[in-house]
Amino acid sequence: MAKITTLLFDCDNTLVLSEELAFEGCADLLNQILELKGAPHPEPLTGSQLIVEFVGQNFRGMLLTLKQRYGFELTDDELETYVSREEDVVIGKLKEGLRPCPGVDDVLEKLKDKYQYAVVSSSALRRVQASIEKVGQDKYFDKDKVYSAATSLPKPTSKPDPAIYLWAMEKLGKKAEECVAVEDSKSGTLSATRAGIKVVGYVGPYEDDKQAEMEKVLSEAGAVVIMRDWSEFEGCLAKIEAGEV
């Protein structure tokens, strides 16, 4: 069995508690767009509603889905303008109130000399950098080891497409069997799994009454082991390294 050399971390609600803040900003902007386009929607979109449907995906994917659903036109230029505007809105929200996921900084500090780290996210690169800088995690992640499906790839995409994990491994010079990914969403877990990478599914940020459901969702998406708290990570990693999962 190959030795694990590299840990690949999703960003939102894996390293930082960003999803609620980010989706609030997304909802505000999407409601403005729907209003501007005259798209029929009975109730304004809310951040909590968007999280349920789109967690793990980026704004580009979200907007294209809503375009299909509500039947409005969107030029390529408009799409790029809105994607850029969403970055500004969300970064503003994150700079106001972002916090790290409980316990993750202890893990990053403890394992930093044993493994290579990288961030592999669906979110825009500028947003990911702003997030890890806000909570002081940028000291663990070199700028050239932060990868964004929305920004880094020649053709922007979003998880569950495995492209961003394949890209990250190519840039890092790593094979899938050398890597372990940490993901909190179905789309992220599918993305890493489809790239051949073993996934630790993290359900800590979900409400207590949702965690069992999300354990099932992530396991079915391919996560080989589940953790509820970052204090469990080394035990999860040991199981993978021992070939138990």
Domain boundaries along the sequence of the chain: 6-17+99-241, 19-97
Q: What is the pTM of this model?
A: 0.88
pLDDT value, residue 40? 82
The topology (CATH level 3) of 19-97 is DNA polymerase; domain 1 (1.10.150)
| Residues in the chain, overall count | 245
Cα–Cα distance measured from residue 19 to residue 17, given in angstroms and rounded to the nearest whole number = 6
Cα–Cα distance measured from residue 81 to residue 162, given in angstroms and rounded to the nearest whole number = 26
Round to the nearest angstrom and report the end-to-end CA distance of the chain.
Answer: 12
- 34 within 8 A of 66, measured Cβ to Cβ: yes
pLDDT value, residue 1? 64
Cα–Cα distance measured from residue 99 to residue 132, given in angstroms and rounded to the nearest whole number = 10
- 214 within 8 A of 206, measured Cβ to Cβ: yes
- 136 within 8 A of 109, measured Cβ to Cβ: no
pLDDT value, residue 42? 79
E-only strand ranges, 4-106:
6-9
Cα–Cα distance measured from residue 193 to residue 162, given in angstroms and rounded to the nearest whole number = 8
Cα–Cα distance measured from residue 231 to residue 102, given in angstroms and rounded to the nearest whole number = 9
E-only strand ranges, the chain:
6-9, 116-121, 146-148, 179-183, 198-202, 225-227
pLDDT value, residue 55? 84
Neighbouring-strand partners of residue 182: 9, 200
CATH code that applies to domain 6-17+99-241: 3.40.50.1000
How many CA atoms within 13 Å lie on the side-chain side of 220?
7
Per-residue pLDDT of the chain (245 residues; tens, 9 = 90+): 679 999 999 999 999 999 899 999 999 999 999 999 998 877 899 998 998 888 888 899 899 999 999 999 999 999 999 999 999 999 999 998 899 999 999 999 999 999 999 999 999 999 999 999 999 999 999 999 999 999 999 999 999 999 999 999 999 999 999 999 999 999 999 999 999 999 999 999 998 999 999 999 999 999 999 999 999 999 999 999 999 99
